[in-house]
Amino acid sequence: MSYPPRPSAHPAGGDDLPHEVQEFERLLNKPNSDMTGFASFFNCAEIWVARVPARLDVMGGIADYSGANVCEAVLGRGMLVALQPRTDRTLRIRTMQVGKRSLPIETRIAMDYFDSGDSLGGFPQMRELFHSNPLAMWAAYTGGSIFTLLKEESIRLDSGFNLLLISAVPMNVGIGSSAAVEIGTLSCLNAYLGLGLDAGRLARLGQMAENHVVGAPCGIMDQTTIVSGRKGRLTHILCRPGSVLGEVAIPPGTAFIGINSMVRHSVAGNPYGDTRIGAFMGKRIVNDLRAHTGRAQLDYLAELSVEEFRNQYLPKIPERMLGSEFLARYKTHDDSVTTIQPDANYRVAGPTRHPVEENERVLRFIDSLRAANEGDESGLTTAGECMFAAHASYRDNCSLSIGEVDFLVEAVGKRGPASGLFGAKITGGGTGGTVAVFGRTDALQEHIPQIAVEYSRRVGAMPDVFEGTSPGAIEFGALRYQFGAKGWQRHHI
């Protein structure tokens, strides 16, 4: 390997290490006789480790695939991926949860399954492989990331490895669990193979795995945040296709947290996919109108200003349109990861309007936070208003909110800035998942437990609250563990 080890600056199990790393080391150091440890999974060969955070979609959300600006946070919860080489051509993948007693899930993949003749197969072949057994579809995120890396970087592995995922990130709650698996897997392989891939490339490979193997039409926002996010900062990303423009300081005495609605969320579901199709239909209609007046074609809807869109294009975009009608008139919606169904009736005007307006909301939100950091307290209220407006657009333009999520947003709104709660919104792909809340730290500590109790009376269970912050993949780096006379020793890479 190209990375020499250097001694850790922190004691093993130190409190400054992310919780998932501490848990990994606790289990790693259990005696071989204790089957709750890793004796049946790892031997004494070196182990490579990456750790990535969950993300909180503060502003931008589904506008990412339309080329918008977005503003994202990294949460305290995360996922650890540990890799140990094998001598055969097998990928052994195990996943387990942190924080509760639960059974691990495991599968094995013969690396020959990745091949087609003398070379690697194609994405359709991999998608069919992982979708052929519903009980093993969870492995598409990890296995798909491995395959995508090998294919896109022209890598040939002579042997496989054991890959362990330890996660404190619940699945399907809208805090980037899918992207965490992908980026965690890719970051671990990047360190193990000494590839030196940069943040942009890792994010793009993760998105490709989710689009082409998992089959979810996500944008690149989640992957970019999890790779490039920094502890205690918001990440400003321009999704054309995924450039980090900078960081935004969180105003002193304030924080962003997430409340889990406990309604499962998935970007592979129809509401999200149909909204994306509607936005791309709208872009195709706008470009057709522009072609008739000799103007350049748009690569992204968010290239339009709100004023230009409302005055020149919105009146000419239908509220709804049958897929068959659109295909007959325009042939294609120019989106390679979604398919228009001829008999489906798609919302078009709302999903097209949303990213154009959201792009300007995000920029206003960022300016407001920066003003607050310079002492303008009104910036806190303005930033919160942007969040409430973003939620309203998810609900009204895209039909991506639900009653449970609206309840949580309204509970924050009823308390308002006078109580120290400034804003709230649905996150990510919508239709459930997590609500982002912005407020003063003391107000969040006082009011969020009250809101959680109120919500539990509605749904019958207490919701999880996601708080804290932790390093992104690049900021964290990677670890290598070696076994010697003093047991397992950790080295930072």
Convert the pLDDT of each residue in 221-279 to its tens digit.
999 999 999 999 999 999 998 999 999 999 999 999 999 998 875 544 488 999 999 99
Residue 292 amino acid letter: H
Q: What are phi and psi of 22, to 5 degrees?
A: -60, -40
pLDDT tens digits for range 171-190: 888 899 999 999 999 999 99
Residue 207 has pLDDT above 80, yes or no: yes
**Average pLDDT score over residue span 32-57:** 94
Q: Side by side, which strands form the sheet with 421-426?
A: 421-426, 434-440, 254-260, 465-466
pLDDT averaged over every residue in the chain: 93
Contact 23, 100 (CB under 8 A): no
pTM of this structure: 0.91
**pLDDT tens digits for 88-143?**
999 999 999 987 778 899 999 999 999 877 788 999 999 999 999 888 889 999 99
Buried b / exposed e along 38-70 (16+ C-beta atoms within 10 A): beebbeeebbbbbbbbbbbbbbbbbbbbbbbbb
CA 89 to chain centre: 30
Query: 458: Cβ–Cβ under 8 A, 6 or more apart, which residues?
Result: 404, 407
Query: Strand, helix or coil at 267?
Result: coil
Other beta carbons within 10 angstroms of residue 177's beta carbon come to 21
68, two tokens: 């918008």
Categorize the per-residue pLDDT at 15 as very low, low, confident or very high, splitting at 50, 70 and 90.
low
Task: Round to whole Å and give the CA distance between 52 and 54.
Answer: 7
How far apart CA 113 and CA 92 sit, in angstroms, is 13
pLDDT greater than 50 at residue 26: yes
- pLDDT value of residue 30: 93
Task: Provide the H-helix boundaries in 339-472.
Answer: 349-373, 378-398, 403-415, 441-459
Classify residue 291 by burial, with Cβ atoms within 10 Å: 0-12, 13-18, 19+: exposed
pLDDT of residue 320: 98
Closest CA to 48 of 85, 2, 91, 8: 85
Q: What are the residues facing 490 on neighbouring strands?
A: 481
pLDDT value, residue 123: 95
- pLDDT value of residue 428: 83
pLDDT reading at 1 higher than 60: no
Least confident of 169-178, 241-250, 400-409, 438-447: 169-178
Q: Is the pLDDT assigned to residue 9 strictly greater than 80?
A: no
Task: Please check whether residue 63 is in contact with residue 275, taking contact to mean a CB–CB distance below 8 angstroms.
Answer: no
Distance of alpha carbon 382 from alpha carbon 368, whole angstroms: 6
Place of tokens 């387990």: 96
Q: What is the pLDDT of residue 116?
A: 79
Cα separation of 453 and 447, whole Å?
A: 10
- Per-residue pLDDT, 229: 97
Beta strands in 86-190 (DSSP E): 90-97, 105-110, 115-116, 119-120, 161-167
Q: Which of 33-42, 53-62, 312-321, 442-451 bottoms out in mean pLDDT, i.e. has the lowest? A: 33-42
Number of other residues whose CB lies within 10 A of the CB of residue 154: 8
Average pLDDT over residues 299-309: 98
Please tell me whether residue 201 adopts helix, strand or coil conformation.
Answer: helix
What radius of gyration, in Å, describes the C-alpha atoms of the chain?
A: 23
Q: How far is CA 335 from CA 270, 284, 292, in A?
A: 16, 10, 22
Q: Which residues are catalytic?
A: 222
pLDDT of residue 442 exceeding 50, the answer is yes
Residue 128 has a pLDDT of: 94
